[in-house]
Amino acid sequence: MATSRRLSSARSDRLTPGRFARSATTARLAIGVTVTVCGVLWILLGSASLSWFGLSPIGLYRSIDQPPILLTLVGVWYTARGLIGNETDEALEQEEVEGVGEGGGA
């Protein structure tokens, strides 16, 4: 039978949620913007080799399925994910601050 044991304070401090949230969000945004800029630059430099296949479903798929365009879309997605994560983290922190004065301790 497994027994639950309390974490030591040093280990608890390392596992505290939100401790590295700011730096992780900043890094995610920096990576996303960098990848997006690199993708746009690649599109601009290689625009002669990119092809447009039309508005049909297979044409859109083949148009988007080109490395510079995919790289740009991944960068935009990663940047948006970082921004959404930042808003979520701020909302959770606000709920924690508001919940401090309500009592009901353990």
Give me the amino acid identity at 55.
L
pLDDT digits (tens, 9 = 90+) for 51-79: 888 889 999 889 889 999 999 999 999 99
pLDDT digits (tens, 9 = 90+) for 77-100: 999 988 887 666 666 667 776 765
Residue of 12, 28, 9 whose CA lies nearest to 86: 28
Write b or e for each residue in 47-74: b if 16 or more Cβ atoms lie within 10 A of its Cβ, otherwise e.
Answer: eeeeeeeeeeeeeeeeeeebebbebbee
